Chain A
Amino acid sequence: MLKLKNINKTYQTDKIETIALNDINLTVNKGEFISIMGPSGCGKSTLLNIIGLLDKPSSGEISISDQQITSYQDKVVASLRNKKIGFIFQSFHLINDLRVIDNVELPLLYRDISAKERRSLALAALERVGLSARTTHFPSQLSGGQQQRVAIARAIVGKPALLLADEPTGNLDSHMGNEIMKILESLHQDDGTTIVMVTHDEEEAKRTQRIVRVYDGQLVAATEQPLHLDATA
């Protein structure tokens, strides 16, 4: 499903070169649910951004769904992000001016499908996260947990091969965080969705099949069920 080979990421400022990721090798199988852990600033979000094609590695190879990424042209990565990847962000990133249903439809706007089909898929996604009664609400009218459920519906509406969650419970209390985790688990178990989740929470990480630990830009360990960890530094 996802293969990272010798991924490096460096940031060049005027005089200093900062190494954000150093020779990362990682394989995530189809249907797997893994978590990435590590201290703040260790590079886990950079890693997630590179997996999500939001950022370009300085060197190395990425394959998603057996398709190697050879071009980072705007049009190419936009299409890949649209069709293969769904994002869930810590701060939800819903568009406050749009209703819930319009927020969920957003990824489908960039596909060649009819308005009717968009609406039907968006309703199905909202039903999947238990929010079919809130379609015409605006994000500001919802609780944090509900907003994150809308964000999950938006992430899954296009049936992406890979779901990337960047600290999805980070802005929620433990009760709501637990609800979000249940939805993610359900998406994994019932729908076979492949999920990569960045988290700070050890308990949540333990609910995933595998924990990948990042320290100073390097993968340092994999725990629980180390199915396909290729390399550690």
Chain B
Amino acid sequence: MYRNYLIMACKVLLRRKMFTFISLFGISLTLAVLLIASTLFDNYIYPNGPEKRSANFVNIDGVVLHSKNRNSVQNGDLGFHFIANNVARLKVPEIMSWYTNKRDVASFINGSRLQNSMRRTDEKYWQILDFEFVSGRHYTAQEFASGAKVMVINHSTEREFFDEQSAIGKKITVSNQTFQVIGVVKDVYELEHYAHSDMWVPYTFANTSYQQHILGDWSALLYHSNAAMIPMMQQEYLQLLANDFISVDPIRFATAYSAADTKFTAFSRQLNSDDDYQTNSTAIASILILLAVAFMVLPSINLININVSRIMERSSEIGVRKAFGATSRQLVIQFVIENILLTAIGAVIGLVISTLVLWQLEVSQAIPGADFQYTWHTLFYGITLIFFFGLLSGVFPAYKMSKLHPVAALKGGA
């Protein structure tokens, strides 16, 4: 019986090529967009570059400061003073690292001006973030402590400055400071915000004026080898700010609000333009899921319409099958099988399209350093969703059709 159903399904798909094309187009495009979006999102939340241990760390990159009389509010990235006097007192993290945002720096080579991004970091930065070194090494604790003018660059920068030659041991001058290159790392995917840069140097090389500011361009990474300790780290930080905040100016900056974010809560906060650290990441997750569902509802309604008209064209077949003993249930099963076959073909096409698009995004370097990987749960959820809607869009028309009166069906319609 099922063989007969499958033969019918294939025949019907081939007979009405336009319908089949529209249906497949809707299904495959929806799945492709969902897969691409979820893969980008997934690679953002669970990157496979230097931030691959994202389940084990949180990042603090902003603070809101209220004055004592609460008349004035300032917010921005962390200043070194804030980190050194507050974040540094946390006990739960096993490793903590301070680093600056990327900053554009200029250098000249053979008369040409080059512009690159540079971060200043401590040496623990390299322990938390797992960079892949093409050659050389990162700076050591000793080099960091002594303020050595050493530099790690990425592979693109190496080629930019030295063509095909190795950069190790060579010197690069940026912003009137000369550094010796000691390591070259593989390019980092731009969406790995904490790691992405062209150059990294120890922040100790510069004068210490940066240490006075409560707001600045600093961030802090807090790491624990046990991912289950993440909530405790977050809680400890919140309690510290609530109960024991040390300010550079207790009148102007009396109260501080901030959060230690996982990649996901950081994303939620950006999405929500959350300046007061009140974002509920569960709510954001629900909104994202709702958006994905809503995105699939439209093509599903379209598919329902197409299926209804396609099935109604076959009312004579429905009448004949009923006349010769098919129950409504058997007819529903037949038409749902047909729809699942259509959905499965659409899913395969969608998978191919999304793979090609992601591959193209990688090779074109539209997103520098991108190295996308499908994860099993992205695939699983994408395909489950598409089958769910495939089923939904098939069951309703099939049910409607199965309720056709056999006499009316034989006459060619309801």
Contacts and interface: CB of A to CB of B under 8 A. Distances in A.
B316 interface: yes
A167 interface: no
Interface stretch (A63-71, A77-85, A195-203, A218-226): A77-85
A14 to B, nearest CB: 18
Contacts of A94: 320
B330 interface: yes
A42 interface: no
Interface in A36-90: 49, 52, 54-55, 74-75, 78-79, 81-83, 87, 89
Nearest to A106: B324
A82 B406 contact: no
Contacts of A81: 322-325
Interface stretch (B8-16, B28-36, B108-116): B8-16
Interface string A129-162: 0000000000000000000000000100010000
A104 to B, nearest CB: 11
Nearest to B325: A82
A98 B323 contact: no
Contacts of B406: 54-55
A93 B412 CA distance: 10
Contacts of A111: 325
Given A54-B407, A93-B316, A109-B1, A82 B7 contact: no
A78 B322 contact: yes
A107 interface: yes
A115 B323 contact: no
Chain B binding surface, main DSSP class: helix
B410 A102 contact: no
B324 A87 contact: yes
A89 B412 CA distance: 13
A97 B316 CA distance: 12
A199 to B, nearest CB: 18
B4 interface: yes
Contacts of B320: 93-95, 106
A97 B15 contact: yes
A74 B1 contact: no
Interface in B274-329: 316-317, 319-329
B17 interface: no
- Which among B3, B8, B322, B406 has the greatest number of chain A C-beta atoms within 10 A? B406
Contact of A95 (B317, B325, B330, B405): B317
Given A89-B410, A110-B330, A154 B324 contact: yes
Interface in B322-348: 322-330
Contact of A98 (B8, B325, B326, B410): B8
B11 A75 contact: no
A98 B327 contact: no
Nearest to A155: B324
Contacts of A95: 8, 317, 320
B407 A49 contact: yes
Given A55-B407, A81-B323, A106-B324, A97 B11 contact: yes
A105 B4 CA distance: 10
B323 A52 contact: yes
Contact of B321 (A52, A97, A106, A115): A106
B330 to A, nearest CB: 7
A89 B409 CA distance: 13
A110 B410 contact: no
Contacts of B323: 52, 54, 81, 87, 93
Contacts of A102: 4, 7
- Which among A55, A78, A110 has the greatest number of chain B C-beta atoms within 10 A? A78
A74 B11 CA distance: 28
B327 A107 contact: no
A95 B316 CA distance: 8
Given A78-B322, A107-B325, 18 more contacts: A49-B407, A54-B322, A55-B407, A74-B327, A74-B328, A82-B325, A93-B316, A93-B319, A93-B320, A97-B12, A97-B15, A98-B8, A106-B321, A109-B1, A110-B1, A115-B3, A154-B324, A158-B324
Interface of B: 1, 3-4, 7-8, 11-12, 15, 316-317, 319-330, 405-407, 410
Sort A-B residue pairs by CB-CB distance and give the 10 closest, nearest first. A82-B325, A97-B11, A107-B324, A110-B325, A78-B327, A54-B406, A93-B320, A87-B323, A109-B1, A74-B328
